[in-house]
Structure 1
C-alpha cells in the first residue's frame, strides 16, 4: 500500500536530514475543495488524494512529484517546497487540449491526472 511506501521514503529522507511535509488539516482540505470545485472541471476531489494530503502535503522524491495544497490555503508554511495543485493545474490548462484533465502530479516520464 502507498502508506508503506511513504514510510520508506520518510526513512530515506531522514538519512539526509530531510523530512516529509506535515499533513493538512480538515479545514485546509475544505478550503481546497471549495477552490478546486469552482475552478476546474471536477465534481469531487478523489478521496485517495485527500487521504494522501492528510498524511503528507505533497511529495517530491526521486523524480516523482505529487502536488501539495497551494500556500495560500495553508495556515503554516510547508517544510519542503513542492508545486501547488491549483497553480500547477492553471499552468497545464493554458493548453486547451489539457483542460479536460485534473493533474495530481508528474514525473520525468508521465503525468498523473484524472480525465
Structure 2
C-alpha cells in the first residue's frame, strides 16, 4: 500500500537528513483548490489526488514531484515548497495538446497525468508527450513510484 511505502521513505529522510515532509492539507485548503481549479480549467481534480493531499500536501524527493496546493490558497506555511498544481497546469496548458490532461506530478523524464477524456491515469514521456503507461487509478501510479524508490535506495 502506498501509505506504508511513503511512511518508510519519510522515516528514512527524517532519520538520515532531518528532513520533514509537508503536513496534510486542511479541508478548507482542499475546498479552495477544488473551486479555483474548476474556475480556471473547467474540470474537477481526481478524488484520489485530493485524498493524497489530505495525507501530505505535495512532495518532492529524488527528482519526483507531486504537486501541492498553490501557495495563495494555503492557510499555513508548509515545510517543503513544492510546485503548485494550478500554476504548473497553467504553464503547460499554453500548448493545446496538454489540455487533454491534468498534470499531477513530474519526474525527470515523465509527467504523471489524469487523462480527462479517457478517465484514467497516464505516465507521459516528456520530450514526445507519448503515453508510456496507463493506470486505472492514481494510487497505483503512486505505489509504483514509491516501490521503485525503495527498491533502489532503501
Residue 41 of structure 1 deviates from its aligned partner by 4.2
Query: 2:37 matched to which residue of 1?
Result: 36
Number of the residue aligned with 2:92: 92
More strand by share: 2
TM-score, normalised on structure 1? 0.93
Partner deviation per Cα, 1:50-91 (whole Å, 9 max, x = no partner) = 111011000101111000000000011111011011000111
Give the Cα separation in 1 of the matches to 2:36 and 2:71: 13
Are 2:28 and 1:9 aligned? Answer: no
Which TM-score applies when normalising by structure 2? 0.71
Superposed CA RMSD in Å reads 1.0
> In terms of Rg, which structure is larger?
2
Greater helix share, structure number: 2
Aligned to 1:114: 114
For structure 2, the 5+ residue unaligned runs are 116-154
Q: Following superposition, which runs of at least 4 residues in structure 1 exceed 2 angstroms of deviation?
A: none
CA contact (8 A) 2:46 2:114 kept: no
Aligned to 1:105: 105
More RCO (CA 8 Å, sep 6+): 1
| Paired residue total | 114
Do the aligned partners of 1:41 and 1:100 also contact (CA within 8 Å) in 2? Answer: no
3-state secondary structure, aligned to 1:38: helix
Taking the aligned partners of 2:97 and 2:48, their CA distance within structure 1 comes to: 26
